[in-house]
Structure 1
Amino acid sequence: MLAEHGVERGLIGPREVDRLWERHVLNSAVIGERVGDGVRVVDVGSGAGLPGIPLAIARPDLSVTLVEPMARRVAWLDEVVETLALSSVTVLRGRAEEPSVRSRVAGADVVTARAVAPLAKLCGWCLPLLRTGGVLVALKGASAAEEIDRDRQAIGRLGGGAPRVESCGDAVLEVPTTVVVVERVKSAGGRDRSGRTRKDQDAHRG
């Protein structure tokens, strides 16, 4: 469907059609290697449905919510979900940072995002959607390590653990998919998994 209608509906550029399968579809599907069995996934800024729809097709055990603010893209996502009978996929119009969206999808096990925003900004939007111990899996390119170096402290303040670069699809892709994985270890207010703030921990040690 994306190859046939994606250009005319403004979802992909004309030059992407010939490389759609490997660069976009497989590139998205292989991140399932970093997703546990039967978990709840939220795909932020889903756009044309990448990576959420290929992931849902490759991993029917997952419950996937596609979050997208633009009406025409939401209409496309609804159409694809209905046509492909993806019963485990829900489309939600809105932005990840909106309270109404957060209330609907909070406590997710995994949040995915592809070409949405720089890493620190992405963590600010996505980490609040995760349960403690849940992970953000962000598809990134060659600049992943540089983004981590630049944004590491900001990610920590937002409640994220140490970000790491991982590779997906080494066995099936000529150029494997690079992802940055960030675990939510505490709230942005500073509480860790035990519920204690950093100030509480310092007082306890004293």
Structure 2
Amino acid sequence: MPPEARRVFAAERLPLLEVYATSLATAGVERGLIGPREVPRLWARHLLNCGALAGVIGADLTVADVGSGAGLPGLVLAIARPDLRVTLIEPLLRRTTYLSEVVDALDLANVEVVRGRADELHGRRTFDVVTSRAVAPLERLLPWSMPLVAREGELVAMKGSSVADEVESVADRWARWGLASPRIEPIGADLPDGGTVVLRVAWAGAPLVSLPVGPRPRRAASGRSRRPRRPR
């Protein structure tokens, strides 16, 4: 555990984070949820950056993590912030099985694991904050995520350095979809990996139950094996 962890996380939460980090480095790798090359930089690239996200979310809120994967950032948020009520949304059984096992092992009473796609919850559930990390470009992420955002809530998505280009690519749709102008905020700049960027999007008008979205990638619909992707 790097020394920066004591600055990002409360001391009493660090033992749980260490257990989770060990699980990612062992069972997470063995079960194909995280790449072996990521193990040496689990803290610097993943846990600390997700911890920085925990620092920009308000108190006592409901949070949905779309495409939770191995639990980044959702599980880190739940561990770091026991005041948050976190729902991990993930369609793949092997991942939800792992997430449920970690939740039980860490006795996280503030976490719910939901197996399914985000759009399956449209019109049924809303949350104060909807987050995600390396799930999809904005043209797909917004239609999947925004219908889950409550009227006074917001999307707070972890994105890469090209987020400004993504925002520009859907610039003609913000007003049409009833979205307020997005805000791009760097977080964790003083962390070893240089931190990350969050995109914050709120509603300008009444929330929509659904937004128009193009067809899903064929490999996702068919259930065929996927090409390797950035670990989550």
TM above 0.5: yes
Greater alpha carbon shift after TM alignment, 124-133 vs 147-156:
147-156
CA shift, 1:169, in A, is 1.9
Alignment of 1:44-123 (within 5 A): 44-98=66-120, 101-106=121-126, 108-123=127-142
CA shift, 1:158, in A, is 2.5
Provide the identity percentage.
51
The TM-score, its normalising length taken from structure 1, stands at 0.85
- Aligned letter for 1:140? K
* Deviation digits for residues 118-146 of structure 1 (CA, Å, limit 9, x no counterpart): 11211111111111121101111110111
Ranges in structure 2 where 5+ consecutive residues have no aligned partner: 1-22, 210-232
The TM-score, its normalising length taken from structure 2, stands at 0.76
CA shift, 1:104, in A, is 4.5
Ranges in structure 1 where 5+ consecutive residues have no aligned partner: 190-206
Aligned to 1:40: 62
Pairwise CA RMSD: 1.5
CA shift, 1:172, in A, is 3.7
Q: Distance in 1 between matches of 2:87 and 2:34?
A: 21
Q: Distance in 2 between matches of 1:153 and 1:130?
A: 21
1:24 matched to 2:46: yes
Aligned to 2:178: 159
- Aligned letter for 1:89? V
CA shift, 1:42, in A, is 0.5
Of the three residues 180, 184, 190, the one matched with 2:203 is 184
Q: Distance in 2 between matches of 1:9 and 1:26?
A: 23
Matched residues, number:
186
1:39/1:156 CA distance change after superposition, 3 Å: same
Q: Distance in 1 between matches of 2:80 and 2:187?
A: 14
Q: Distance in 1 between matches of 2:178 and 2:79?
A: 31
